[in-house]
Amino acid sequence: MADLLGRPLRVTVWNEFVQEKSDPKVQAIYPAGIHAVVADALREHLAGQVTTRLATLDQDEHGLTREVLDTTDVLVWWGHLAHDRVSDDVVDRVASRVLRGMGLVVLHSGHFSKIFRRLMGTSCRLRWREGNDRELVWTVKPSHPISLGVPSPIIIPQQEMYGEFFDIPTPDELIFVSTFSGGEVFRSGCCFYRGHGRVFYFSPGDQDYPVYHHPDIRRVLANGVAWAASDRATLLEDYAPEYCPDHWFEPKAEAEPGENDHGVHPVG
Amino acid sequence: MADLLGRPLRVTVWNEFVQEKSDPKVQAIYPAGIHAVVADALREHLAGQVTTRLATLDQDEHGLTREVLDTTDVLVWWGHLAHDRVSDDVVDRVASRVLRGMGLVVLHSGHFSKIFRRLMGTSCRLRWREGNDRELVWTVKPSHPISLGVPSPIIIPQQEMYGEFFDIPTPDELIFVSTFSGGEVFRSGCCFYRGHGRVFYFSPGDQDYPVYHHPDIRRVLANGVAWAASDRATLLEDYAPEYCPDHWFEPKAEAEPGENDHGVHPVG
Amino acid sequence: MADLLGRPLRVTVWNEFVQEKSDPKVQAIYPAGIHAVVADALREHLAGQVTTRLATLDQDEHGLTREVLDTTDVLVWWGHLAHDRVSDDVVDRVASRVLRGMGLVVLHSGHFSKIFRRLMGTSCRLRWREGNDRELVWTVKPSHPISLGVPSPIIIPQQEMYGEFFDIPTPDELIFVSTFSGGEVFRSGCCFYRGHGRVFYFSPGDQDYPVYHHPDIRRVLANGVAWAASDRATLLEDYAPEYCPDHWFEPKAEAEPGENDHGVHPVG
Amino acid sequence: MADLLGRPLRVTVWNEFVQEKSDPKVQAIYPAGIHAVVADALREHLAGQVTTRLATLDQDEHGLTREVLDTTDVLVWWGHLAHDRVSDDVVDRVASRVLRGMGLVVLHSGHFSKIFRRLMGTSCRLRWREGNDRELVWTVKPSHPISLGVPSPIIIPQQEMYGEFFDIPTPDELIFVSTFSGGEVFRSGCCFYRGHGRVFYFSPGDQDYPVYHHPDIRRVLANGVAWAASDRATLLEDYAPEYCPDHWFEPKAEAEPGENDHGVHPVG
Bridge partner residues of A176 (DSSP): A139, A189
Q: Which of B203, B206, B115 is nearest to B166 (CA)?
A: B203
Query: Mind telling me how many Å the CA of A47 is from chain B's nearest CA?
Result: 33
Kindly list the averaged pLDDT for each block of 10 residues, start to end, along chain B of length 268.
Answer: 73 97 95 97 96 98 97 97 97 96 97 98 94 94 93 95 96 98 97 96 92 97 96 64 85 51 33
Residues of chain B in contact with residue C231, where contact means CB-CB under 8 angstroms, are: 145, 148
Band of pLDDT at residue A252, cut at 50, 70 and 90 = confident
| Structural domain count, chain C | 1
Instruction: Tell me which chains share at least 3 CB pairs under 8 Å with chain D.
Output: A, B, C
Q: What is the pLDDT of residues C177-193, one digit of tens each?
A: 999 999 999 999 999 99
Q: What is the pLDDT of residues C84-135, one digit of tens each?
A: 999 999 999 999 999 999 999 999 999 999 999 999 999 999 999 988 899 9
**Mean pLDDT, rounded, for D147-154:** 94
Residue C31 lies in a domain: yes
Residue B192 lies in a domain: yes
In angstroms, the CA D127 to CA C16 distance is 39
Contact indicator for A34, A98 with CB cutoff of 8 Å: no
Query: Mind telling me how many Å the CA of B197 is from chain C's nearest CA?
Result: 6
- The answer to whether the CB atoms of D177 and B178 lie below 8 A apart is no
A140: nearest CB among C139, C141, C164: C164
List, as one string, the DSSP characters of C107-124. EGGGGGSHHHHHHH-S--
The CA-based angle B230-C203-C116, given to 5 degrees, is: 100
Band of pLDDT at residue C234, cut at 50, 70 and 90 = low
For A158, phi and psi rounded to 5 degrees?
Answer: -140, 130
Peptide bond into A157 cis (omega under 30): no
Q: Helix or strand or coil: residue A36?
A: helix
Residues of chain A in contact with residue C140, where contact means CB-CB under 8 angstroms, are: 164-166, 185, 187
In angstroms, the CA C108 to CA D141 distance is 36
- The answer to whether the CB atoms of B165 and D139 lie below 8 A apart is yes
Residues of chain B in contact with residue A239, where contact means CB-CB under 8 angstroms, are: 123, 125, 167
Which of the two residues, C56 and D253, has the higher pLDDT score?
Answer: C56
Q: Helix or strand or coil: residue B134?
A: strand
Residues of chain C in contact with residue A185, where contact means CB-CB under 8 angstroms, are: 136, 138, 140, 177-179, 185
> H helices of A65-153, where?
66-70, 88-99, 114-120
- The answer to whether the CB atoms of A143 and D3 lie below 8 A apart is no
Contact indicator for A57, A18 with CB cutoff of 8 Å: yes
- The answer to whether the CB atoms of B101 and C136 lie below 8 A apart is no
Mean pLDDT lowest for which of A20-24, A234-238, B63-67, B103-107? A234-238
CATH of the domain at B13: 3.40.50.880
- The answer to whether the CB atoms of A185 and C187 lie below 8 A apart is no
Q: What is the pLDDT of residues D183-206, one digit of tens each?
A: 999 999 999 999 999 999 999 998
Contact indicator for B202, B211 with CB cutoff of 8 Å: no
Instruction: Tell me which chains share at least 3 CB pairs under 8 Å with chain C.
Output: A, B, D
Band of pLDDT at residue A190, cut at 50, 70 and 90 = very high
CA dihedral (D198, D201, D206, D212) positive or negative: negative
Band of pLDDT at residue D3, cut at 50, 70 and 90 = low
pLDDT of residue B59: 98
ipTM of model = 0.91
Which of the two residues, B255 and C76, has the higher pLDDT score?
Answer: C76
Residue B154 lies in a domain: no
- What's the domain range around B109? 2-121+187-228
Residues of B in CB contact (< 8 Å) with A are 95, 99, 109, 112, 118-123, 125-131, 160-161, 163, 167, 169-170, 172, 182-184, 192-195, 239-247, 249, 267-268
- What mean pLDDT is reported for chain A? 90
pLDDT of residue A206: 84
**Mean pLDDT, rounded, for D125-130:** 93
Q: How far is CA D242 from the centre of its chain?
A: 29
pLDDT of residue B252: 73
- The answer to whether the CB atoms of D185 and B165 lie below 8 A apart is no
Kindly tell me if the per-residue pLDDT of D49 is higher than 80. yes
- What mean pLDDT is reported for chain D? 90
Among D112, D208, D244, most C C-beta atoms within 10 A, so best to mutate, is D244
Residues of A in CB contact (< 8 Å) with C are 134, 136, 138-142, 152-153, 163-166, 170, 174, 177-179, 181, 183-185, 187
In angstroms, the CA A201 to CA A184 distance is 19
Band of pLDDT at residue A268, cut at 50, 70 and 90 = very low
Kindly tell me if the per-residue pLDDT of A121 is higher than 80. yes
Residue type, C138: W
Q: Which of B258, D221, B196, D1 is nearest to C148 (CA)?
A: B196
Among C140, C165, C181, C191, most A C-beta atoms within 10 A, so best to mutate, is C140
In angstroms, the CA B177 to CA B135 distance is 10
Residues of chain B in contact with residue C101, where contact means CB-CB under 8 angstroms, are: 143
Residues of B in CB contact (< 8 Å) with D are 134, 136, 138-142, 152-153, 163-166, 170, 174, 177-179, 181, 183-185, 187
Neighbours of C231 (CB within 10 A): 16
Neighbours of B90 (CB within 10 A): 19
Instruction: Establish, for the pair of chains B and D, how many residue pairs have beta carbons separated by less than 8 Å.
Output: 62
Peptide bond into A249 cis (omega under 30): no
Query: Mind telling me how many Å the CA of C134 is from chain D's nearest CA?
Result: 13
Q: Is A225 left (phi over 0), alpha (psi -120 to 50) or beta?
A: alpha
Residue B242 lies in a domain: no
pLDDT of residue C143: 86
A267: nearest CB among B128, B195, B246: B128
Residue D191 lies in a domain: yes
Instruction: Establish, for the pair of chains A and B, how many residue pairs have beta carbons separated by less than 8 Å.
Output: 112
Residue B168 lies in a domain: no
By CA distance, what is C79's nearest residue in D? D268
Residues of D in CB contact (< 8 Å) with C are 95, 99, 109, 112, 118-123, 125-131, 160-161, 163, 167, 169-170, 172, 182-184, 192-195, 239-247, 249, 267-268
Band of pLDDT at residue A240, cut at 50, 70 and 90 = low
DSSP letter at B255? P
Band of pLDDT at residue C258, cut at 50, 70 and 90 = very low
What is the Cα Rg of chain A in Å? 20
Residue C168 lies in a domain: no
Burial class (CB in 10 A: 0-12, 13-18, 19+), A46: buried
Q: Which of D171, B41, B70, D93 is nearest to A173 (CA)?
A: D171
In angstroms, the CA A267 to CA A246 distance is 16
Residue C25 lies in a domain: yes
List, as one string, the DSSP characters of A140-189. S-TTSGGGTT--SSEEEEEEEEEES---SPPPSEEEEEEEETTS-EEEEE
Contact indicator for D47, D2 with CB cutoff of 8 Å: no
pLDDT of residue C263: 33
pLDDT of residue C237: 56
In angstroms, the CA C180 to CA C162 distance is 8
**Mean pLDDT, rounded, for C40-44:** 98
- The answer to whether the CB atoms of A184 and C184 lie below 8 A apart is no
